[in-house]
Structure 1
Amino acid sequence: MPLTARAARWCAGHPHGTLAAWLVFLSVAALGGAGTGLRLAPGLPGSVTAVVATDPAKLLVLGAPVVVALLWLVLGSALVTLAAALFLGAVLATALGLVTALSSVLPTSHLACDVVVLLGVVVSADHVLFSVRRHQEAVADGRDIPDTAQVVAATAGRTALVSGIAIAVSMTGLWLVGDALLAPVAFGAIVVVAVSTSAALTLLPALLALLPVPAPRRIRRWWPGRVPALRVHRDTPRLAARLAAPVVGLLALLGLLHFLLRSAGVHDLPGAPPYLSGDAVLTLVLMLVLTVLVLLIAFRPILVALASVALGVLSVLVALGLLAMQVAHIPEWAPMVLLVVLSGPSTDIHVYLLHRFRSEALTGMSARHAMTGGVRRSASAIGGAVAVAFGACIAFGLAGTGEFRAFGWSTAAALLVDAVLVRTLVLPVLISLGGQLSWWRRITPRAHSRSGRGRPRPGSGGAARNH
Structure 2
Amino acid sequence: MPGRTPITVRTARWCATHPWRAVVGWVLFVALCIGAGAAVGTNKGKFEDFWVGEAGRAEAMAADSGLTPPPVEQILVEDRPADDRTARSGTAAEKEAAARDIQRRMMSLAPVVVSVADPVRSKDGSALLVSVTLRGDKETAKKDVDALLKETAAVQGAHRGLRIEQTGSASISNAVNDQQGRELQRTEMISLPVTFVILFVVFGAVLAAGIPVLLALSAFAGAVGLYGLASWAFPDAGGAALSAIFMLGMAVGVDYSLFYLKRAREERERSGGTLSHAQAVELAAATSGRAVIDSGLAVALALAGLYLMNDVIFSSIATGGILVTLVAVAGSVTVLPALLAKLGHRLDGRAARRRTHRGPAADRQSQLWTALLRPVMRRPLVTLLAGLAATAALALPTLGMKLGTEGKETFPDSIPAVAAYDRTVRAHPSEGPAHLVLVRGTDPAAPLRELAARTRGDALFAQDRAPVPRISADGRTALLALPVPYAQNSSQAADSLERLRTTLLPATAGAAGVEWAVSGEIAYGADYAAHQEHRLPWVVVLVSLATLAIMYAAFRSAVMAAIGALLNLAAVLVAWGVLTLVFQHTWAEGLLGFESLGFVGSRTPLLVFAILVGLSTDYQIFVVSRIREAVRRGTPTRQAVVEGIAGSASVVTSAAVIMVSVFVSFLFIDRVEMKQLAVGLTVAVLFDAIVLRALILPSAMALLGERCWWPLRPGARGTRRTQMPGAAQAAGARDAVRM
Pairing of 1:279-294 with structure 2 (within 5 A): 279-294=535-550
Structure 1: 5+ residue runs without aligned partners?
A: 222-226
Q: Which amino acid aligns with 1:429?
A: S
Is the CA contact (8 Å cut-off) linking 2:370 and 2:642 kept in structure 1? no
Is the CA contact (8 Å cut-off) linking 1:248 and 1:314 kept in structure 2? no
SS of aligned partner of 1:434 = helix
Change (3 A) 1:216 1:118: farther
Q: Distance in 1 between matches of 2:703 and 2:628?
A: 16
- Deviation, structure 1 residue 93: 0.7
- Deviation, structure 1 residue 411: 1.6
Which residue of structure 1 aligns with residue 58 of structure 2?
Answer: none
Q: Distance in 2 between matches of 1:229 and 1:22?
A: 39
SS of aligned partner of 2:312 = coil
- Encode CA deviations 1:10-44: one digit per residue, 9 max, x unaligned: 11111110010111111111122223333333344
- 1:237 counterpart (377, 398, 418): 377
- Deviation, structure 1 residue 231: 4.0
Change (3 A) 1:237 1:215: farther
- Deviation, structure 1 residue 122: 1.0
- 2:560 counterpart (304, 312, 323): 304
Is the CA contact (8 Å cut-off) linking 1:361 and 1:370 kept in structure 2? yes
User: Which is helix-richer, 1 or 2?
Assistant: 1
- Deviation, structure 1 residue 103: 1.6
Which residue of structure 2 aligns with residue 119 of structure 1?
Answer: 248
Pairing of 1:158-237 with structure 2 (within 5 A): 158-211=290-343, 212=345, 213-214=347-348, 231-232=370-371, 233-237=373-377
- Deviation, structure 1 residue 455: 9.1
357-366 vs 232-241, which moves further: 232-241
Higher relative contact order (Cα pairs below 8 Å, separated by 6+ residues):
1
Pairing of 1:23-422 with structure 2 (within 5 A): 23-42=27-46, 43-44=49-50, 50=176, 53=180, 55-109=183-237, 110-140=239-269, 141=271, 142-211=274-343, 212=345, 213-214=347-348, 231-232=370-371, 233-239=373-379, 241-243=381-383, 245-263=384-402, 268=491, 269=494, 273-274=529-530, 277-327=533-583, 328-422=598-692
- Encode CA deviations 1:165-211: one digit per residue, 9 max, x unaligned: 12222322332444222121222221111111111110110111122
Change (3 A) 1:265 1:97: closer
SS of aligned partner of 1:6 = helix
- 2:18 counterpart (9, 14, 21): 14
Larger Cα-atom Rg: 2
Q: State the Cα RMSD in Å.
A: 3.2
Q: Which amino acid aligns with 2:551?
A: L
TM-score, scaled relative to structure 2: 0.57
- Deviation, structure 1 residue 252: 3.6
- Encode CA deviations 1:301-351: one digit per residue, 9 max, x unaligned: 111111100000000001111111222211111011112222343222110
- Deviation, structure 1 residue 151: 0.8
Change (3 A) 1:264 1:168: closer
Which residue of structure 1 aligns with residue 125 of structure 2?
Answer: none
Is the CA contact (8 Å cut-off) linking 1:35 and 1:101 kept in structure 2? no
- Deviation, structure 1 residue 228: 7.0
Q: Which amino acid aligns with 1:60?
A: E
Change (3 A) 1:357 1:143: same
Q: Distance in 2 between matches of 1:85 and 1:170?
A: 24
Q: Distance in 2 between matches of 1:30 and 1:196?
A: 15
Q: Distance in 2 between matches of 1:465 and 1:75?
A: 26
SS of aligned partner of 2:582 = coil
Is the CA contact (8 Å cut-off) linking 1:118 and 1:341 kept in structure 2? no
- Deviation, structure 1 residue 97: 1.4
TM-score, scaled relative to structure 1: 0.87
Q: Which amino acid aligns with 2:713?
A: R
Is the CA contact (8 Å cut-off) linking 1:275 and 1:335 kept in structure 2? no
Change (3 A) 1:199 1:400: farther
- Deviation, structure 1 residue 277: 1.8
Which residue of structure 1 aligns with residue 105 of structure 2?
Answer: none
How many residue pairs were aligned? 453
Q: Which amino acid aligns with 2:601?
A: P
Which residue of structure 2 aligns with residue 224 of structure 1?
Answer: none
Q: Distance in 1 between matches of 2:25 and 2:193?
A: 28
SS of aligned partner of 2:401 = helix
Q: Which amino acid aligns with 2:382?
A: R
- Encode CA deviations 1:87-129: one digit per residue, 9 max, x unaligned: 1111111111111232233212321221111111111121111
278-287 vs 430-439, which moves further: 430-439
- Deviation, structure 1 residue 234: 4.2
Q: Distance in 1 between matches of 2:333 and 2:277?
A: 15
272-281 vs 326-335, which moves further: 272-281
- Deviation, structure 1 residue 429: 2.3
Is the CA contact (8 Å cut-off) linking 2:245 and 2:320 kept in structure 1? yes
Q: Which amino acid aligns with 2:612?
A: L
SS of aligned partner of 1:403 = helix
Which residue of structure 1 aligns with residue 451 of structure 2?
Answer: none
Q: Distance in 2 between matches of 1:288 and 1:121?
A: 24
Is the CA contact (8 Å cut-off) linking 2:43 and 2:232 kept in structure 1? yes
SS of aligned partner of 1:325 = helix
Is the CA contact (8 Å cut-off) linking 1:345 and 1:389 kept in structure 2? no
- Deviation, structure 1 residue 436: 3.0
Q: Distance in 2 between matches of 1:113 and 1:407?
A: 14
Change (3 A) 1:276 1:103: closer
Q: Distance in 2 between matches of 1:39 and 1:238?
A: 58
